[in-house]
Structure 1
Amino acid sequence: MHILVINSGSSSLKYQLFNMPSDIPLCTGQIERIGTEGSFIRHQIQAPAQLIERNEVIADHDVGLRQVLELLADPVTGVVSTPDAIDAIGHRVVHGGESFASATLITPAVKETIKALFPLAPLHNPINYQCIEIAEQTFPKAKQIAIFDTAFHQTMPEYAFRYALPQELYHQEAIRVYGFHGTSHRYVSKKAIAWLEKPDAKLISIHLGNGSSITAVDKGKSIDTSMGFSPLSGLVMGTRSGDIDPSVIFHLLSRGYSPDDVNNLLNKKSGMQGLTGFSDMRDIRKAMEAGDQTAALAYEIYAYRVKKYVGAYAAILNGLDAIIFTAGIGENDATLREMICTQLTFLNISLDSEKNRSPDRGLRAVNAPDSPVRIFIIPTNEELEIAQQTYDLLQGK
């Protein structure tokens, strides 16, 4: 069964094509920095091995996805001869509300629900929806399946997902913690449990990318997570503020900002973008190395927020077997991992600096030999997780 996975983020688009049940992709690719200067496409074919790279302006996800589809069916380098060779497309959709707790066949009604949730995930659900519509037009015979980032967090206990607001705001308006990046947290926590050979492991999964979140996992289930009603809360992110005092919103409104202004400010102009003028951590690192003290402070703020959550989640887990770093920043930024793990010896967390800075890639442990808590770097593979859930749904599992 040929399954194409489309994973669209706020400024990126990743994809993989699988011939399931094999977990080895026929091709993989990614588009980075969509909508900004320096955007690029990287398309890798597995057999025969071939890498195609393009540096060009990708204005939006529509342009990006159409280029991906052209690469897949290229007369010379393509891996499918016709769009009809694709049996199913698995789409990452960020927000499913309380409506979806598992992989779901996309119908007109499902699409309307995804649209209704646009206000709760304004950077993601519109893009996810757009990619679904493009895929429906390009692959009219393929089954379209939605995998929701919120699904993994449906196991949170009520005392963790409820806000201290009037009851009717939950029962009538469904205002609660939903959590996001669930596909990634699910994948890496399964890998950590297998590595530890401990089904009841207590884990903290730290997903650090343009969007960032942290999740407490007990026995393979999410019990708390940093993102809440929308993907805005929690850690400092590329353009999102993360946690702030709600009174800041009222203050801005009293100073003449409109609700749309505040929404745009917190989602698109804050975070590292607001602190430094750059949303990409690679650019911030370059600025730091050039002596930019503003960038250095922002970097410290970013690491400090993660460390606060590590402490909080170690408390609610009442113990800890491992912490996991994943996603683009988590997997690749050794300095940031060191800043987060420093002075956590009271939690039995001790980093091996040499291992941490090793050029090795892939799944690895970077804790000191005598550290009771393991420190794992586990490359996330949301695409494989989406493909597996898509396959299982269509197989009736």
Structure 2
Amino acid sequence: MNILVINCGSSSLKFSVIDTQTGKDLARGLFDKLGSAAPSYKLESSLIPEAKYGTLPSNSEHEASLDTLADFLASDELQLKIEAVGHRVVHGGEHFTSACLMDQAALDAVKSCSSLAPLHNPANLLGIESSKHHFPDLPQVGVFDTAFHQTIAPEAYLYSIPIELYVKHGIRRYGFHGSSHKYVTAEAARILGKPLEKTSIITAHLGNGCSAAAIENGACIDTTMGLTPLEGLVMGTRSGDIDPGIIFHLHRSLGMSIEEIDTTLNKKSGLFGLSGFSNDMRSLRQASAEGSEAAQRAVAIFTRRLAKSIAGLRATLTKCDALVFTGGIGENDAKTRAETLARLEHLGIKIDSEANSNAGKGRNGIISQENSPTKAIVIPTNEELMIARETEQLVGNQ
């Protein structure tokens, strides 16, 4: 089945057309800087010799992007038959435990979660509504970042704040990067040669956004992100865990507004804030090698927090078959993996330095020693394929 996967951001639209039988991308692309004076796009496919680049009229939004996308997919060069559309939706609250057909009731439920993800859900809804207009005869399926984590028990998802804030307002830990954690969990079970329902692992999705999750017998039981994607690990520009009192101090003592604090914690913190110049681990590694103390400090804090969180998640599991690294940093930065694992030998993980150096680059690979009681594995994530598979499964069962 050919599935069109759409991921709408506030000013961007990414897409892939995936053949679920082979798992291969038939087409993919990005529309960027939507709503600006010069929106642009890149469209590519294995069926055409070279990528197509172009611009959209000034201030064009998602609707115009989908106009161009629909024309591209229906062009004589491609003539791709799309059978369903899968949409990434960031926040599903407690409404969604799995993928869902996006009828009006589902759209209303996603809208009700928009206050929990104000930068993401409105954009996701725009993509769904525009796609319904352009592909009215195709099933539209929402696949939720939060759904995989809905197996977490109350003792893990409740915050120690007045319980009525959860009961009346839904304030609790939800978790994110669900498609990625779900995909690598299944891949890890396959690599380990174990049934999914008997596989217990820790997954670490490390990119500009970072989160880790504890998976017990194939189901998520804890995760580091919370009500929003701000909680947890140090990230590219997000702070991760901080003393909540810092927020009050920034407001009362430094006179910062709520908006300024929000921007500081989400866009000016993390690796960028600690180093003072970059949120990109590659740049920080290079600067560290050249003697930058700021870069070295940022990287050290990143790996220390990661190891500390992984050790904490291990305490929630009755057993742990493996630790999985994924995401741009997890897949490609051998030093981050090595520095993190050096702190985790007490969990029974013994790194194979040569295997670690050769892992990643788009390949799966075990990077622990053969006699390591707990394995360490690098698995490239594929969130688009996971969304396509969940879309196919839902549509096929209708």
Amino-acid identity (%): 42
Shift of 1:120: 1.7
Distance 1:31 1:254 in 2: 41
Alignment of 1:267-346 (within 5 A): 267-275=266-274, 276-346=276-346
Greater shift after overlay, 267-276 or 159-168? 267-276
Aligned to 1:376: 377
Q: Alpha carbons of 1:370 and 1:241: their partners in 2 closer, same or farther (altered >3 Å)?
A: same
Aligned to 1:105: 101
Q: What SS class does the counterpart of residue 51 from structure 2 fall into?
A: strand
Q: Give the letter aligned to residue 333 of structure 1.
A: D
Q: Alpha carbons of 1:68 and 1:225: their partners in 2 closer, same or farther (altered >3 Å)?
A: farther
CA contact (8 A) 1:13 1:61 kept: no
Aligned to 2:7: 7
Shift of 1:65: 4.9
Greater shift after overlay, 58-67 or 335-344? 58-67
Distance 2:188 2:240 in 1: 27
Aligned to 2:139: 143
Distance 1:344 1:328 in 2: 21
Q: What SS class does the counterpart of residue 316 from structure 1 fall into?
A: coil
TM-score (norm 2): 0.87
Unaligned runs of at least 5 residues, structure 1? none
List per-residue Cα deviations over 1:269-294 (Å, max 9, x = no partner): 22122223323333333433443221
Greater shift after overlay, 316-325 or 69-78? 69-78
Q: Give the letter aligned to residue 169 of structure 2.
A: E
Q: Give the letter aligned to residue 350 of structure 2.
A: S
Aligned to 2:250: 252
Q: What SS class does the counterpart of residue 160 from structure 1 fall into?
A: helix
- Work out which of the residue numbers 84, 96, 101 in structure 1 matches 2:92: 96
Q: Alpha carbons of 1:14 and 1:292: their partners in 2 closer, same or farther (altered >3 Å)?
A: farther
Q: What SS class does the counterpart of residue 142 from structure 2 fall into?
A: strand
Q: Alpha carbons of 1:63 and 1:137: their partners in 2 closer, same or farther (altered >3 Å)?
A: closer
Q: What SS class does the counterpart of residue 24 from structure 2 fall into?
A: coil
CA contact (8 A) 1:87 1:141 kept: no
Alignment of 1:356-367 (within 5 A): 356-358=356-358, 361-367=362-368
Q: Give the letter aligned to residue 201 of structure 1.
A: T
CA contact (8 A) 1:123 1:267 kept: no
Aligned to 1:213: 211
Shift of 1:121: 2.0
CA contact (8 A) 2:238 2:265 kept: yes
Q: What SS class does the counterpart of residue 111 from structure 1 fall into?
A: helix
Q: What SS class does the counterpart of residue 190 from structure 2 fall into?
A: helix
Q: Alpha carbons of 1:56 and 1:277: their partners in 2 closer, same or farther (altered >3 Å)?
A: farther
Shift of 1:327: 1.2
Q: What SS class does the counterpart of residue 203 from structure 2 fall into?
A: strand
Q: What SS class does the counterpart of residue 215 from structure 2 fall into?
A: strand
- Work out which of the residue numbers 168, 184, 187 in structure 2 matches 1:172: 168
Greater shift after overlay, 357-366 or 211-220? 357-366
Shift of 1:19: 4.0
Greater shift after overlay, 54-63 or 121-130? 54-63
Instruction: Determine if the alignment matches structure 1 residue 192 to structure 2 residue 191.
Output: no
Q: Give the letter aligned to residue 327 of structure 1.
A: G
